C-alpha cells in the first residue's frame, strides 16, 4: 500500500511517499523556520503564506524522488490537527482538491498519532524493524509533551501530559532568556556541549509525586532568576553560558526521564520505550533515557527528519489506522486547530 502524506501543521511544508507504513520512498520538507529567527517564534500568517508557495514544488519533488507514478498511490493522508489553523487549512484544503483531482481517498490524521508512528519509519535503503507492543511512548515537542501506554497503533492510553509549557517550549524560552537563536532546542544543546551540567541547581518538578504529568514553566522561571542573580553578582553571561545551558538542558531531561522511569515501575509489561517528537533529537535526553531504562530498549526515530514535523510520519500513521480500523479510517473528518489527546480523536 502506497500512501502520500502531507504535513503543514506549523512552519513546515512536507510531502512523503511511504510503503506499508514503514518504508519511506521520499520525504521532502520545506521549512520557513529561518524567517522567524529574529522574531523568536513562528508568525502564523507568514507561515501559512509560505506554505501556499511551497505546496506544489514540495509535492512534485516528493513524487520525483519516490520514482512512482501518481496512479500507484492508494490514498492521501494529511494532518487534520492540532496545529496553526491557517497552516492546517493550507494542507487540508489543497489535499482535498488533490484527492478529488486524482480520485484518491483522503484521510485526516491526528498530528500526535503521526509522531507516535515515526519510530517505525525506515529511510530509503534501510529495512524496517519489528517492534512489539505494549510499549511506552514519550512524545515531546514544542507543542506537546505526552506519555502514552500503547497496546497497538490505535489502542493507546494517555498516562501523563504537560500541565503548562511543553518541553520544546521550555527549550525555546530558555534559549531566548540566554540570548540564543530560535529554534531553542538545537541552539541550547550546542551551547551546552562544553558546559558542566552540575554547575547550577534547578528543581525537579513533581519530585516524589505518583502521577505522571509534566510541568516546565517552573524551570523557565528558575532559569530567569538564576541568570538574574548571576549577573547581579558580577558574572558575565559569556563566562557562564555553557554551564548554564548544560544545567538547564539537564533539568529538562531529568524531568522527562523521571516520568518515564516512574511509568516503567507502574507498568512492568512494557517491552520497550520510544521517544518521538522534535525533542527526541536531543542526544543528551536519549542517553539519559537509555541509562534510566536499564535493560528495556529505548528507540528513537532513525533520522532527525523523522523527529521534527514531517509527512512520512503522517503517511505511516494512516497505514496503521487503515490496518486496525478498516474502512472507518476513511470516515468524514474536519480540520481542527485543537484536538483532544485521546485515541478516540485519531
User: What residues are paired with 3 via a beta bridge?
Assistant: 18, 75
Q: How far apart are CA 27 and CA 114, in angstroms?
A: 14
77-99 average pLDDT score: 97
State what percent of residues in the chain have pLDDT above 90.
Answer: 90
Q: Is the pLDDT of residue 270 over 80?
A: yes
Residues 84 and 100 in one domain: yes
Q: Is the pLDDT of residue 183 over 90?
A: no
Residues 91 and 206 in one domain: no
Residues 108 and 166 in one domain: no
pTM of the model: 0.94
Per-residue pLDDT band for 35 (boundaries 50, 70, 90) equals low
> Taking Cα atoms as reference points, which of 261, 290, 275 lies closest to residue 150?
275
Lowest mean pLDDT among 18-27, 37-46, 112-121: 37-46
Residues 100 and 68 in one domain: yes
Q: How far apart are CA 344 and CA 272, in angstroms?
A: 24
Q: How far apart are CA 205 and CA 293, in angstroms?
A: 20
C-alpha grid cell, residue 56: 506544489
pLDDT given at position 7: 98
Q: Is the pLDDT of residue 323 over 90?
A: yes
pLDDT given at position 143: 85
State the CATH number of the domain containing residue 208: 3.30.420.40
Residues 221 and 284 in one domain: yes
Asked if residues 78 and 107 have their Cβ atoms less than 8 Å apart, the reply is yes
Residues 258 and 163 in one domain: yes
State what percent of residues in the chain have pLDDT above 70.
Answer: 97
Among 299, 314, 335, residue at a domain's last position = 299
Q: Is the pLDDT of residue 300 over 70?
A: yes
Residues 122 and 141 in one domain: no
Residues 240 and 314 in one domain: no
pLDDT given at position 344: 86
151-170 average pLDDT score: 96
169-188 average pLDDT score: 94
pLDDT given at position 176: 94
Neighbours of 123 (CB within 10 A): 15
Lowest mean pLDDT among 79-83, 153-157, 181-185: 181-185
Residues 293 and 146 in one domain: yes
pLDDT given at position 222: 97
38-67 average pLDDT score: 90
> Taking Cα atoms as reference points, which of 120, 169, 138, 123 lies closest to residue 290?
138
> Taking Cα atoms as reference points, which of 94, 92, 84 lies closest to residue 53?
94
Per-residue pLDDT band for 44 (boundaries 50, 70, 90) equals confident
Asked if residues 270 and 157 have their Cβ atoms less than 8 Å apart, the reply is no
Find the DSSP H helices in the chain: 44-66, 85-102, 111-117, 167-177, 184-191, 217-232, 237-266, 283-293, 304-307, 311-325
Residues 30 and 99 in one domain: yes
> Taking Cα atoms as reference points, which of 257, 282, 279 lies closest to residue 191?
282
> Taking Cα atoms as reference points, which of 268, 236, 246, 248 lies closest to residue 193?
246
Q: How far apart are CA 103 and CA 256, in angstroms?
A: 44
Residues 107 and 214 in one domain: no
Q: Is the pLDDT of residue 33 over 80?
A: no
Per-residue pLDDT band for 88 (boundaries 50, 70, 90) equals very high
115-127 average pLDDT score: 96
Domain with 191, as residue range(s), is 135-299
pLDDT given at position 301: 98
Domain count, the chain: 2
Q: How far apart are CA 333 and CA 184, in angstroms?
A: 34
What SS3 class is residue 280? helix
Residues 140 and 257 in one domain: yes
Amino acid at each position: 500500500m502506497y500512501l502520500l502524506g502531507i504535513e503543514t501543521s506549523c512552519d513546515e511544508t512536507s510531502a512523503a511517499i511511504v510503503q506499508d507504513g514503514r518504508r519511506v520512498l521520499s520525504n521532502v520538507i520545506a521549512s520557513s523556520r529561518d524567517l522567524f529567527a529574529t522574531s523568536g517564534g513562528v508568525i502564523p500568517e507568514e507561515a501559512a503564506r509560505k506554505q501556499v508557495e511551497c505546496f506544489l514544488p514540495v509535492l512534485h519533488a516528493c513524487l520525483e524522488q519516490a520514482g512512482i507514478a501518481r496512479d500507484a498511490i492508494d490514498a492521501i493522508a494529511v494532518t487534520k490537527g492540532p496545529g496553526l489553523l491557517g497552516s492546517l487549512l493550507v494542507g487540508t484544503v489543497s489535499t482535498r482538491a488533490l484527492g478529488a483531482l486524482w480520485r484518491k481517498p483522503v484521510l485526516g490524521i491526528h498530528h500526535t498519532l503521526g509522531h507516535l508512528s515515526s519510530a517505525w519509519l525506515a529511510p530509503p535503503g534501510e529495512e524496517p524493524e519489528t517492534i512489539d507492543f505494549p510499549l511506552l511512548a514519550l512524545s515531546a515537542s514544542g507543542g506537546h509533551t505526552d506519555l502514552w501506554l500503547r497496546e497497538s497503533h490505535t489502542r493507546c492510553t494517555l498516562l501523563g501530559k504537560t500541565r503548562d509549557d511543553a518541553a520544546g517550549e521550555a527549550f525555546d524560552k530558555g534559549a531566548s532568556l540566554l540570548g540564543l537563536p530560535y529554534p531553542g532546542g538545537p541552539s541550547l544543546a550546542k551551547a551546552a556541549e562544553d558546559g558542566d551540567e552540575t554547575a547550577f541547581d534547578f528543581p525537579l518538578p513533581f519530585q516524589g509525586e505518583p502521577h505522571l504529568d509534566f510541568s516546565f514553566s517552573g524551570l523557565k522561571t528558575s532559569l530567569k532568576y538564576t541568570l538574574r542573580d548571576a549577573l547581579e553578582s558580577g558574572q558575565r553571561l559569556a563566562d557562564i553560558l555553557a554551564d548554564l545551558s548544560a544545567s538547564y538542558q539537564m533539568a529538562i531531561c531529568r524531568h522527562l526521564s523521571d516520568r518515564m522511569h516512574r511509568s516503567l515501575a507502574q507498568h512492568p509489561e512494557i517491552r520497550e520505550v520510544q521517544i518521538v517528537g522534535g525533542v527526541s533529537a536531543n542526544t543528551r535526553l536519549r542517553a539519559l533515557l537509555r541509562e534510566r531504562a536499564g535493560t528495556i530498549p529505548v528507540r528513537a526515530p532513525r533520522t532527525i527528519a523523522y523527529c521534527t514535523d514531517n509527512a512520512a510520519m503522517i503517511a505511516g500513521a494512516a497505514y496503521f489506522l487503515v490496518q486496525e480500523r478498516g474502512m472507518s479510517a476513511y470516515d468524514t473528518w474536519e480540520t481542527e486547530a485543537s484536538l483532544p489527546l485521546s485515541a478516540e480523536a485519531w
